[in-house]
Amino acid sequence: MSESTGQDVNVRTTAAQRATGTNTDTLLQTDGLVKQFGGFTATDAVDFSVEAGEIRCLIGPNGAGKSTLMKLVTGQHAATAGSIYFNGFDVTDDAPNERIDRGLSMKFQVPSVFEDLTVRENLRLPNQRLADGDERRRRVDEALAAADLADVEDTRAGDLSHGRQQQLEIGMAASLDPDLLLLDEPVAGLSVDERAAIADRIRTLNEERDVAFVVIEHDTEFVAEIADRVTVLHQGDIFREGPIEEIEDDPEVQRIYLGTDGDAEGDAR
């Protein structure tokens, strides 16, 4: 990288202004975001931005730093350096709960439904934050219907199929009325039909409730079905960004997935 030129400074200033100005479509902007675990840099000065109402997919080889980036955005991890702007605010030092109140919600890679509670009880939890009495009941009924879980509302969540657990988790996250919903591998291990149902749910939330998404997913067919744009993460930083057709055909992207990056035997240009 070159020294910080006038242009770099401009870009950086604009990033912060774009993310915090009044007439902006930028929903999320990270600025030079860094996360180190001991001496290891998992997130390496990432400038990542998401527009209001878009569906973005985040891909990249195992260990690229996808989950870490998401956890920095939600506040599960504290940033080592850099800033995070969300919905017009600098949320870098905000607690996870404060970020939720600003419109951020997430479904983690590891399922986190309350297995011993019923489906209805699980959905009641996020709705407790926002409503009570009849209004809460109405919201829970609506969430059950939207997640196609009304027929199993009294079932223990731990007894649901994996696919329906994922639907429940997305339903819980969506109950918080987020502007941005982060989903970490929501269709891993699911059947073709279950994947289609999740894709459908994502599109519906996007179209009807204007929820923007960042979805971590490897399967390019699924990505092509839902995403406007794709961001490729590699070794903790953004490697490529663009429409899935371009990304899929990019020989450099194929190379990092094959794990031959930096290999002297590699015959890439």
The three-state secondary structure class of 68 is helix
How many CB atoms sit inside 10 A of residue 121's CB? 15
The least CB distance from residue 47 to ligand ADP, in Å, is 17
**Least CB distance to ligand ADP at residue 88 (A):** 27
- The residues of the shown chain that bind Mg ion, judged by CB under 5 A, are 66-67
State which residue, 179 or 185, has the beta carbon closest to Mg ion.
185
H or E segment at 214? strand 212-216
CB of 39 to ligand ADP, least distance (A): 10
Subset of 8-67 contacting ligand ADP (CB under 6 A) = 37, 42, 60, 62-67
Q: Which is nearer to ligand ADP, 160 or 181 (CB)?
A: 181
What counts of helices (H) and strands (E) characterise the chain? 10, 11
Residues 6+ apart with CB under 8 A from 111: 162, 165, 166, 169
> Measured from the CB of residue 63, what is the shortest distance to ligand ADP in angstroms?
4
**Rounded to whole angstroms, what are the CA distances from 108 to 26, 74, 171, 268?**
23, 10, 13, 35
CB nearer ligand ADP, residue 40 or residue 151: 40
Q: Residue 61 or residue 103: which is nearer to ligand ADP going by CB?
A: 61
Confirm if 206 and 212 have CB atoms less than 8 A apart: yes
Instruction: Output the six-digit token pair for 2.
Output: 């070159």
Site for ligand ADP in 124-183 (CB under 6 A): none
Other C-beta atoms within 10 Å of 4: how many?
9
Which residue's Cβ lies closest to Mg ion? Answer: 67
- Count residues binding ligand ADP (CB under 6 A): 10
Q: Which is nearer to Mg ion, 65 or 171 (CB)?
A: 65
Q: Which does 201 bind (CB under 5 to 8 A by kind): Mg ion, ligand ADP, none?
A: none
Minimum CB–partner distance for residue 144 and ligand ADP (Å) = 31
In the complex, least distance from residue 198 CB atom to Mg ion, rounded to whole angstroms: 17
CB of 83 to Mg ion, least distance (A): 23
74 contributes a contact to ligand ADP by CB under 6 A: no
In the list Mg ion, ligand ADP, none, the entry touching 178 (Cβ below 5 to 8 angstroms by class) is none
Report how far residue 198's alpha carbon sits from residue 147's, in angstroms, rounded to the nearest whole number.
9
Closest by CA position to 191, among listed 214, 162, 223: 162
Contacts of 32 (CB under 8 A, 6+ apart): 12, 45, 46, 47, 81, 82, 83
Which of the listed partners (ligand ADP, Mg ion, none) does 87 bind, with a CB threshold of 5 to 8 Å by partner kind? none
Token pair of 158 as six digits: 């731990």
In terms of CB distance, is 40 or 269 closer to ligand ADP? 40
100's tokens: 């939720």
Q: Locate 26 and state its tokens.
A: 């930028």
Q: Which does 37 bind (CB under 5 to 8 A by kind): ligand ADP, Mg ion, none?
A: ligand ADP
User: Which positions lie near ligand ADP, rule CB under 6 A?
Assistant: 37, 42, 60, 62-68
